[in-house]
């Protein structure tokens, strides 16, 4: 196992933190993922690309424990993951965003972000009911953390707005904030830039790079836009029809004939 490499831009990438081993996932007759293995190293930005329906979201769902693969193992921080509920996986330090935004529409931006701190709450029910001591201290500490993320993502002005009223691009940003505030070890992003205009995309790219750079968060991201992926990521997994057809640094992947064929063979949306 490689430990510690330093990238051209000076970030340190550590050993393997998560490893997918021979994952196969079926929905009835449909095989969404066919015997795929790859690893994620600490501190890197790992991209998953591929045409629509390739199985990328399914793979992210396996990583976040939402889908249970029929075959294969998930290794996290040197241990094989036993079958777990998604909320238990979240507590191990894996946070994510969704391809189709999944915010809590009835709550304000701030409350949405504060839900991301749930795993850091230790005060019990009664302490919260009387709002005394630990409960109030935790609330204030979590609020401070939430404000840090709000500043970081530049969404101060919409703090108290109900998320239902926000435009699409801002919703995506709030969803990122909710995931970030959990201070995850691994952040899984499902098409964080889909549906955004150029300016919003640039902002989002910058945020992703900053998160990785400032907090050292490991990021796995799904993206359609080849250009964006090549700029952002350290290593890329390419999927097509549920199979892995490429894996490596962006330049390697770009030169791979199978990848070129897959991308030329489909029309982009």
Partner 1 sequence: MFYREAGDFKTSYAADSQTFPIAFDRWRYYFVIAAGFGLLPFIINDYWSNAILLPFLIYAIAAIGLNILVGYCGQVSLGTGGFMAVGAYTSYKLMTAFPWLDMVSITILSGVMTAIVGVAFGLPSLRIKGFYLAVATLAAQFFLIWLFNRVPWFFNYSASGQISAPERSLFGQAVTGPAADPSAKYLFCLVFAFALAWLARNLTRGSVGRQWMAIRDMDIAAEIIGVNPLRAKLSAFAVSSFYVGIAGALFFTVYLGAAEPGTAFGIQKSFLVLFMVIIGGLGSIFGSFAGAAFMVLLPVLLTNVLTGAFGWDSALARHFEFVIVGGLIMFFLIVEPHGLARLWALAKEKLRLWPFPH
Ligand X SMILES: Nc1ncnc2c1ncn2[C@@H]1O[C@H](COP(=O)(O)OP(=O)(O)O)[C@@H](O)[C@H]1O
Contacts with partner 1 by CB under 8 A lie at: 64-66, 85-87, 90-91, 95-96, 98, 102-107, 111, 114-119, 121, 123, 125, 128-131, 135-136, 138-140, 142-144, 147, 178-179, 182
Q: Which is nearer to ligand X, 32 or 135 (CB)?
A: 32
Selected from 41, 46, 56, 173, the binder of ligand X by CB under 6 A is 56
Q: Does 244 bind ligand X (CB under 6 A)?
A: no
- Kindly state the smallest distance separating residue 125's Cβ from partner 1, in Å: 6
CB 59 within 8 A of CB 31: no
The partner in contact with residue 91, picked from partner 1, Mg ion, ligand X, none with C-beta cut-offs of 5 to 8 angstroms by kind, is: partner 1
State how far the Cα of 127 lies from the Cα of 134, in Å rounded to an integer.
7
- Minimum CB distance to partner 1, residue 102 (Å): 4
Closer Cβ to partner 1, 113 or 229, answer by number: 113
Q: DSSP labels for 16-74?
A: EEEEEEEEEEEETTEEEEEEEEEEEETT-EEEEE-STTSSHHHHHHHHTTSS--SEEEE
Calculated CA dihedral for residues 91, 61, 249, 215, nearest 10 degrees: -30
User: Which residues, at least 6 apart from 43, have a Cβ–Cβ distance to it below 8 Å?
Assistant: 11, 12, 13, 14, 212, 216, 217, 218
Q: Please pick, from the candidates 14, 15, 53, 72, the single residue that binds ligand X as defined by CB under 6 A.
A: 53
**Which residue in 33, 57, 96, 186 binds Mg ion (CB under 5 A)?**
57
5's contact among ligand X, Mg ion, partner 1, none, with CB below 5 to 8 A by partner kind, is none
Query: If binding is defined by CB under 5 A, does position 97 make contact with Mg ion?
Result: no
Interface with ligand X includes 52 (CB under 6 A)?
Answer: yes
Distances (CA, A) of 148 to 28, 183, 199: 45, 12, 23
Tell me the Ramachandran region of residue 53: left when phi exceeds 0, alpha when psi lies from -120 to 50, beta otherwise: left
Q: Would you call 59 exposed, middle or buried from its count of C-beta atoms within 10 A (0-12, 13-18, 19+)? A: buried
Distance between start and end Cα atoms, the chain: 38
Q: Which does 111 bind (CB under 5 to 8 A by kind): partner 1, ligand X, Mg ion, none?
A: partner 1
Residue 53 interacts with, from Mg ion, ligand X, partner 1, none (CB under 5-8 Å by kind): ligand X
Which residues contribute to the site for Mg ion (CB under 5 A)? 57, 99
Residues contributing to the site for ligand X (CB under 6 A): 27, 30, 32, 50, 52-58
């Amino acid at each position: 196992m490689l430990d510690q490499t330093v990238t051209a831009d000076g970030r340190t990438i550590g050993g393997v933190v998560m490893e997918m081993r021979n994952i196969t996932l079926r929905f009835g007759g449909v095989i969404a993922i066919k015997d795929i293995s790859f690893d994620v190293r600490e501190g890197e930005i790992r991209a998953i690309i591929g045409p629509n329906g390739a199985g990328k979201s399914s793979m992210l769902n396996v990583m976040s424990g939402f889908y249970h693969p029929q075959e294969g193992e998930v290794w996290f921080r040197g241990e094989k993951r036993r079958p777990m509920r998604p909320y238990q996986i979240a507590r191990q330090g894996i946070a994510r965003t969704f391809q189709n935004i999944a915010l809590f529409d009835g709550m304000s931006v701030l409350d949405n972000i504060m839900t991301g701190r749930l795993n850091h709450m230790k005060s019990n029910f009664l302490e919260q009911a009387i709002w005394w001591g630990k409960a109030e201290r935790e609330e204030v500490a979590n609020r401070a953390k939430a404000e840090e993320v709000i500043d970081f993502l530049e969404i101060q002005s919409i703090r108290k707005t109900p998320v239902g009223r926000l435009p699409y691009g801002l919703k995506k940003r709030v969803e990122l904030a909710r995931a970030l505030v959990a201070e995850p070890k691994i952040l899984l992003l499902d098409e964080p830039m889909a549906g955004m205009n150029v300016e919003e995309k640039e902002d989002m790219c910058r945020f992703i790079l900053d998160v990785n750079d400032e907090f050292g968060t490991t990021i796995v991201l799904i993206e359609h836009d080849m250009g964006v992926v090549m700029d952002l990521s350290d290593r890329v997994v390419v999927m097509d029809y549920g199979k892995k057809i490429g894996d490596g640094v962006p330049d390697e992947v770009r030169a791979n004939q199978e990848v070129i064929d897959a991308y030329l063979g489909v029309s982009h949306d």
